[in-house]
Amino acid sequence: MKRAFAVAFTTLILACPLIPLAAAQTAPHVLVTPEALKWSDVPSLPGAKIAVIEGPPSEAVPFTFRLKLPASYQIAPHWHPAIEHVTVISGTFNLGMGDKLDKSKTTPLKAGSVAIMQPKMNHFAWTKGETVVQVHGVGPWALTYVNAADDPTKKGDAMKAGDAMKKGDTMKMGDAAKKGDAAPKK
């Protein structure tokens, strides 16, 4: 009896790692070259562009997107409801923590650098030259400004967020992916 239990237990332990592998093999692969990215405007970050690779970020699924930020760009203090993983693709992304944008309290992150921010951690960023970052995580993901007055979607002359806006100070990222105009075809 002990031997039968040991064999069954060992078989189960050895088979468990193969279950996720089998599930992963049924999902389609996504291969994206930089030239294939489709860039769209970001209502909550006027002047920035977004290319959704996987998502959409506003749903409870894994997401990946790139942000292209122009030179001399600033992102006011904000937070996200889910963990944020940022990888710098090109340029320098200057990142700081806190409720007020203070360039002297930032860390310059050059291409290849990674930053991981926990949910609801207030942070801000700025660029000197054009910078591209890749953000990934599991949604739903959004950007909420610490100071609602910093939210460009709330200003009369800002771009309209359309159906992307929800009640409160939150701008859902990735609504373009729902329409299929930012994500690559699988």
pLDDT at residue 27, rounded to an integer: 61
DSSP-derived letter for residue 42 is -
Residue 179 has pLDDT above 90, yes or no: no
Domains of the chain: 38-179 (2.60.120.10)
What is the pLDDT confidence band of residue 164, given thresholds at 50, 70 and 90?
A: very low
Question: How many residues would you count in the chain?
Answer: 186
CB 56 within 8 A of CB 174: yes
Q: What are the beta bridge partners of residue 109?
A: 93
Higher pLDDT, 164 or 119: 119
Q: Is the pLDDT of residue 9 over 70?
A: no
pLDDT at 40 over 70: yes
pLDDT of amino acid 18? 44
Residue 159 has pLDDT above 70, yes or no: no
Tell me how far the alpha carbon of residue 3 is from its chain's centroid. 50
Averaged pLDDT of the chain: 79
Q: Which tops the pLDDT comparison, 153 or 22?
A: 153
Q: What pLDDT, in 10s, does the model give residues 57-94?
A: 999 999 999 999 999 999 999 999 999 999 999 999 99
Q: Give mean pLDDT, residues 116-137.
A: 97
**What confidence tier does 26 reach under pLDDT thresholds 50, 70, 90?**
low
Give me the amino acid identity at 3. R
CB atoms within 10 A of CB 183: 24
Residues facing residue 116 across a β-bridge: 85
Q: What is the DSSP track for 26-88?
A: HSPP----GGG---EE-TTSTT-EEEEEE--TTSSSEEEEEEEE-TT-EEEEEE-SS-EEEEE
Per-residue pLDDT at 8: 45
